[in-house]
Chain A
Amino acid sequence: DAKTTQPNSMESNEEEPVHLPCNHSTISGTDYIHWYRQLPSQGPEYVIHGLTSNVNNRMASLAIAEDRKSSTLILHRATLRDAAVYYCILRDARDYTGGFKTIFGAGTRLFVKA
């Protein structure tokens, strides 16, 4: 499976935008880019996913580089509730296993200051 690289931690002020980067230089053409987050004492929670085009939903936006070797999760206005570990994950659309196997890595721990 293609690997992703994320900073270990980031810090943001409440009400400000947050840009969480992810590098995936070995991404294949059939890999979807997924983002999940894990709040303290909870299971991972789906945030957003995309293939080539930028995506928006009620939680966040996903900006995908033109060469697809990197992506950025954008939280438009961070709240204290957004403090979590954010995971950038690649999912091969040809993989019918369905499971994410080992590719939940360490993620980025986001700290939000009031």
Chain B
Amino acid sequence: DADVTQTPRNRITKTGKRIMLECSQTKGHDRMYWYRQDPGLGLRLIYYSFDVKDINKGEISDGYSVSRQAQAKFSLSLESAIPNQTALYFCATSDYFKREGSDTQYFGPGTRLTVL
């Protein structure tokens, strides 16, 4: 079984609808992230969470909200979807290794969202 799972894998919705993307992980990591990927723009960070009570905005959080229901679950919501939110969305986890001074991220398979 995959360590980081995302549901749904594909979603088509209409402008103005509320959408929730879900992410679950079995790696036992405290840190979880949501990114979006657009052609030519790489990955951009939407929100990140260091634990259940610690949620932070990333660089492109406008129009999105998140919920960290448990250590293993991190949901991304689009309150009122718009067409320019059409993208590939990735959830990731990491466990910070202070000794190394860096962290490795583990990504889910992605959710392809289309907003018409």
Q: Which residues of A line the B interface, CB within 8 A?
A: 30, 32, 34, 36, 41-46, 49, 51, 87, 91, 93, 96-107
Asked if A98 meets B58 with Cβ closer than 8 Å, knowing A43-B90, A45-B107, A106-B42, the reply is no
Interface positions of B from 64 to 82, Cβ below 8 Å from A? none
Contacts known (A46-B104, A46-B105, A49-B102); A102 close to B42, Cβ less than 8 A: yes
Which residues of B sit under 8 angstroms from A49, Cβ to Cβ? Answer: 102, 104
Q: Which residues of B contact A102 (CB under 8 A)?
A: 41-45, 59
Residues of B within 8 A of A (CB): 4, 31, 33, 35, 37, 40-45, 48, 50, 56, 58-59, 90, 92, 94, 96, 101-110
Among A42, A98, A105, A107, which residue has its beta carbon within 8 angstroms of that of B50? Answer: A98
| Chain A proximity of B80: nearest CB distance (Å) | 25
Contacts of B35 in A (CB 8 A): 99-100
CA distance A96 to B48 in the complex (A): 11
The 9 closest A-B pairs by CB, nearest first: A43-B107, A93-B101, A104-B42, A104-B43, A99-B45, A32-B102, A46-B104, A44-B107, A99-B48
Residues of A within 8 A of B105 (CB): 36, 44, 46, 98-100
Contacts of B4 in A (CB 8 A): 43
Check B108 against A43 for contact (C-beta < 8 Å).
yes
Instruction: Give Cα distance in the complex from A99 to B36, angstroms.
Output: 12
B101: contacting residue among A32, A42, A100, CB under 8 A:
A32
Known: A44-B43, A91-B103, A100-B43. 5 other contacts (CB 8 A): A44-B107, A87-B42, A98-B31, A98-B50, A104-B37
Contact A101 B59 (CB under 8 A): yes
Shortest A79–chain B CB gap in Å is 21
Closest residue of B by beta carbon distance from A101: B45
- A99 adjacent to B58 (CB under 8 Å): yes
Say how far A68's CB is from chain B's closest CB, in angstroms. 15
Contact of A98 with B101 at beta-carbon distance under 8 Å, contacts A103-B42, A104-B43 already known? no
CB closest residue in chain B, given A49: B102
Known: A42-B110, A43-B109, A106-B40. A101 touches B102 (CB 8 A): no
